[in-house]
Structure formats: structure tokens, C-alpha cells
């Protein structure tokens, strides 16, 4: 592992052999200014050469070839790409999740407050990475990711899932229309909201995703505690930048790969 590219891992993947994964924050890259320093998103207005260097560092840390760290053009959908070969990350296909059973291909999710979710079936050797913003989460991007893994031979009862650093409830302020959208899905979602000022509420997306994944009958699921807004010096946060009138923002990357050895 590259000691200059910090990352964290999840205990829900402990003991799984032949797996490399990491949730990366802001540190360990070459970008400057509001993108400092490990911005991994080509969708930002950061210099392309800096993003490429940052992504190569992440790939090296995972043990992947640089171009084998795959991302998609995320658009808050439930679309899943099955990766059988490497594509061009400068012109990636649209989607919000990637799955593969090919060793050496790293599946990634980019986020800056949205929830990155990594998946693995250690028996079938199938992995996935999903970008779960609230729209995609509500629409079922984690469910479609699991379905795509099943198409590659995974079994629900063997799948482990990890929810990475994202916006915590303390900073996820929403309006009444947002609340109604989630109550329309399930009335028992009401306890995921706490009252704020006036008609505002605060939403717990980590618990929402944990519940959704458990209802999918997978083996194990765990959300990491880090908050991208509350720890904005360590993670990129779209909402923090917006609240401070900072245009554009960097992207955190979370990735998973089956080792080739």
C-alpha cells in the first residue's frame, strides 16, 4: 500500500481474502485550492492532469493498474454497469453503480456528501460499488446493484455491504417534500427524521441505507461513522462548499477490487 495516500477500511470486510478496498478522503493528492488534494472526480473543474495523478495514486494503493480504476458518469439513477473490461474514464458510460467478477478491475463510486456503498460476495468473487445520493437510494440503486451481482453468480446470503463516509443526520437538512417522498415509500421511515427549525427536518441516510440493505436479505451491512460535512477538512463536501459560497467541489473516491494474486 502507498503510505502517502491515506484511506480507511470497513470491519464488515475483515477476514475476506483476496480483496482490496478503501474509502479515500481529501489527503494524499496533488490538486490545489478548493480541490486540495486528492480530488478524484473528472466532473469537477479541477485540472485534468491533477485528477489523473490522484486517481493513479488511488489505483496504486489498491494494487490496480491506473486505467483499471473504473468510474461512471453518475446521474442519480439506479443504472448499473457490469464491467468485463476497462473503459475510458474520461468518457465513461452513464450509471451509478459498477459490478464485476474480473480480478484486477477496481469498481469505484465518487461522492461529496452522497453515500458510497461497496459490496462483495467473497464466495462467488463478485464485487460492486454504488453511488447512493438520496434520489438513487430512494429509487433503489442498492437493490439494482445486488441484482447485477446476482447475475454474475453472487448469492444474497453471502453479500457484505459497507456504507462509506457521507452526510450525517446532523447536517442533512431537508424540507417537507423530501420527508413526504420517503414516507410514501414506507411509513416506518418517519423515525429517520428529527425536527429542525420551522418546517425543516434532518434525515439519517446512513440508517436508511442500512435498513434497505438488510431488507435485501444480504449477509452483513455496516455504515462507517465519518461525516463529510462535519469533517470537511478530511473529506470533500458539496453542501459545506455551498453553505460557504464556494463554487464547485472535489470528489471523494471509494473503491473495491478483487486481487489478481
pLDDT in tens, 113-141: 999 999 999 999 999 999 999 999 999 99
Residue 156 cell numbers, joined: 444474497
Distances in whole angstroms, Cα of residue 50 to Cα of each of 24, 31, 32, 44, 235:
16, 6, 9, 11, 17
**What pLDDT sits at residue 1?**
45
Q: Which residues pair with 194 in a beta bridge?
A: 202
- For residue 104, pLDDT beyond 50: yes
Tens digit of pLDDT for each residue in 204-226?
A: 999 999 999 999 999 999 999 99
User: Is 168 a residue whose pLDDT tops 80?
Assistant: yes
Local confidence band at 66 (pLDDT 50, 70, 90 cut-offs) = confident
CATH topology of domain 7-168+222-258: 3.60.140
Per DSSP, the three-state class of 163 is strand
CA dihedral 62, 67, 73, 79 (to 10 degrees): -70
Query: Phi/psi at 227 (nearest 5 deg)?
Result: -115, 125
Whether 2 has a pLDDT exceeding 70, the answer reads: no
Q: So where are the chain's domains?
A: 7-168+222-258
| Beta strand segments in the chain, E | 7-8, 19-24, 69-70, 80-82, 97-100, 106-111, 115-121, 126-132, 160-163, 173-174, 193-195, 201-203, 220-223, 252-258
Contact 94, 237 (CB under 8 A): no
Amino acid at each position: 500500500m502507498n503510505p502517502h495516500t491515506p484511506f480507511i477500511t470497513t470491519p464488515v470486510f475483515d477476514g475476506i481474502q483476496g480483496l482490496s478496498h478503501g474509502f479515500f478522503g481529501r489527503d494524499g493528492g496533488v490538486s490545489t485550492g478548493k480541490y486540495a488534494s486528492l480530488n478524484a472526480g473528472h466532473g469537477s473543474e479541477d485540472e485534468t492532469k491533477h485528477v489523473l495523478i490522484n486517481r493513479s495514486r488511488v489505483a496504486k494503493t489498491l494494487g490496480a493498474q491506473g486505467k483499471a480504476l473504473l468510474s461512471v458518469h453518475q446521474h442519480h439513477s439506479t443504472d448499473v454497469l457490469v464491467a468485463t473490461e476497462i473503459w475510458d474514464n474520461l468518457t465513461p458510460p452513464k450509471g451509478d453503480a459498477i459490478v464485476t467478477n474480473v480480478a484486477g478491475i477496481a469498481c469505484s463510486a465518487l461522492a461529496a456528501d452522497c453515500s458510497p456503498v461497496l459490496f462483495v460476495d467473497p464466495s462467488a468473487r463478485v464485487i460492486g460499488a454504488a453511488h447512493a445520493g438520496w434520489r438513487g437510494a430512494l429509487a433503489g440503486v442498492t437493490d439494482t446493484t445486488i441484482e447485477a451481482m446476482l447475475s454474475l453468480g453472487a448469492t444474497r446470503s453471502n453479500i457484505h455491504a459497507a456504507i462509506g463516509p457521507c452526510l450525517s443526520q446532523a447536517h442533512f437538512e431537508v424540507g417537507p417534500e423530501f420527508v413526504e417522498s420517503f414516507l410514501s415509500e414506507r411509513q416506518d421511515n418517519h423515525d429517520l427524521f428529527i425536527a429542525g427549525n420551522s418546517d425543516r427536518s434532518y434525515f439519517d441516510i446512513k440508517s436508511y441505507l442500512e435498513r434497505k440493505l438488510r431488507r435485501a436479505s444480504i449477509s452483513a451491512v455496516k455504515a462507517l461513522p465519518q461525516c463529510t460535512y462535519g469533517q470537511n477538512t478530511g473529506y470533500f463536501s458539496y453542501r459545506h462548499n455551498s453553505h460557504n459560497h464556494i463554487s464547485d467541489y472535489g470528489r471523494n473516491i471509494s473503491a473495491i477490487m478483487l486481487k489478481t494474486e
